[in-house]
Amino acid sequence: MPYEQPPTDNCFFLDKIPVEIRLQIYEYLVVANEPLKGRTARNGARYGLSLPILRTNRQVYDEAQDLFFGKNTFYITSIPEDEISNKDKANYSVSENQQRFDPPLHPQRWDQLRHLAVDLVYYPGKTNSVDTPREARDSKPSDPGATAYISSLTTLLSTTGPTLHSFTLTACVSESFCARKSLISFFICDRNAPFVHALAAIPLGAVPVKFEFPDCFYHVDVKPGLFVSKSILLLACQVMFCQSQVRIDRLLEAFEGDKVGRREEEGRVERMDLGPYIGAVWPRRSKETGVVA
């Protein structure tokens, strides 16, 4: 982000206010209370940050930018190909692999990142389809965009993983997104050894894994090393299966006219926890820690 030349006169803010106080001011101005999403994922939401402070002068920029990159949580999502115009591609493209996620974080800043959340679901462009007639019969689905997305995540995590203070793996699936398309990126990352090893190398006691659907959810804390020995694709398939089972159960209950059916008519259906439905695909949680190890 560009900054102006330092003023020639003395600056009260820089000369008189202790650096500890300045850092508190910067944190109030440039650190959000929620994860920062890119343009394609936040749907116009704003975070109330005062980023123009970074353009004041070089010293302010140097002092504040470490807080911006080091204390904010950046929520990484894929970018559908047909949502990136030629003009936008110029803003995203640092290299072929590094332009495949949002928000656009320059590699020079990756070593400053301490908090990340990554959504594994890849949303193909409207003009692209994972399910062509030939691919629909193929036991090994593929999508160039999803492959590039996982490759860019591998590069990002290989750089940032060893210094992360928090990390969350998510899968936020919209109502209209079919199961096969939801699973394509899981299929690719499950067979990408550098990706799973980058996950396993994150120096945290546990990594939250969160599947989010409009009507249900599944949350579990996993030790990073488990990503190497267990299939994340198998877990995703189990979650998708249980989500479908929950929807079938609710339709049957609604058909029978019980309380769940009436709540659906009134638009007050609570999101259901899929935890009790998930079988022993991965080792069960520890009763002492609640962590899958």
Residues 172 and 219 in one domain: yes
Write down the pTM of the prediction: 0.80
Split at pLDDT 50, 70, 90, the class of 95 is: very low
Give yes or no for residue 248 having a pLDDT over 70: yes
pLDDT digits 0-9 by tens, 186-209: 999 888 999 999 999 999 999 999
Residues 144 and 240 in one domain: yes
Split at pLDDT 50, 70, 90, the class of 291 is: low
Residues 63 and 98 in one domain: no
User: Which residue did the predictor score with more confidence, 231 or 259?
Assistant: 231
Residues 25 and 128 in one domain: no
Report yes or no on 42 lying in a domain: no
Residues 1 and 130 in one domain: no
Question: What is the pLDDT, as a whole number, of residue 162?
Answer: 94
Q: Return the top range by mean pLDDT from 112-116, 174-178, 246-250.
A: 112-116
Report yes or no on 112 lying in a domain: yes
Question: What is the pLDDT, as a whole number, of residue 69?
Answer: 96
Question: What is the pLDDT, as a whole number, of residue 197?
Answer: 95
Distance CA 104, CA 204 (A): 25
Residues 77 and 98 in one domain: yes
Quickly list H helices, 161-231.
179-190, 193-200, 226-229
Contact at 8 Å (CB) between 71 and 27? Answer: yes
Question: What is the pLDDT, as a whole number, of residue 112?
Answer: 95
User: Which residue did the predictor score with more confidence, 203 or 98?
Assistant: 203
Residues 65 and 114 in one domain: no
Report yes or no on 41 lying in a domain: no
Residues 55 and 163 in one domain: no
E strand segments, 70-165: 74-78, 101-102, 115-119
Q: How many domains does the chain have?
A: 2
Contact at 8 Å (CB) between 149 and 78? Answer: yes
Averaged pLDDT for residues 237-251: 85
Report yes or no on 244 lying in a domain: yes
Averaged pLDDT for residues 214-238: 90
DSSP state, 239? H
- Kindly tell me the number of DSSP H helices and DSSP E strands found in the chain: 12, 9
Averaged pLDDT for residues 66-86: 82
Share of the chain above pLDDT 90, in %: 37
Residues 263 and 121 in one domain: yes
Domain that holds residue 63: 1-34+50-71
Residues 173 and 241 in one domain: yes
State the greatest distance between any 2 C-alpha atoms of the chain, in Å, as a whole number.
78
In 3D space, the residue among 207, 185, 203, 206 whose CA is nearest the CA of residue 195 turns out to be 185
Report yes or no on 43 lying in a domain: no
User: Which residue did the predictor score with more confidence, 148 or 94?
Assistant: 148
Averaged pLDDT for residues 168-177: 82
| Chain mean pLDDT for the chain | 79
**Residues 281, 282, 285, CA angle at the centre, nearest 5°?**
125
Residues 163 and 230 in one domain: yes
pLDDT digits 0-9 by tens, 52-65: 988 888 888 988 99
Residues 8 and 144 in one domain: no
Question: What is the pLDDT, as a whole number, of residue 288?
Answer: 44
Distance CA 250, CA 8 (A): 69
DSSP state, 244? H
List Cα–Cα distances, 293 to 34, 232, 284, 288, in angstroms: 28, 14, 8, 12
List Cα–Cα distances, 173 to 162, 183, 247, 249, in angstroms: 28, 10, 15, 20
In 3D space, the residue among 106, 99, 119 whose CA is nearest the CA of residue 41 turns out to be 119
Report yes or no on 40 lying in a domain: no
Contact at 8 Å (CB) between 130 and 143? Answer: yes
**Residues 80, 85, 88, CA angle at the centre, nearest 5°?**
95
Report yes or no on 162 lying in a domain: yes
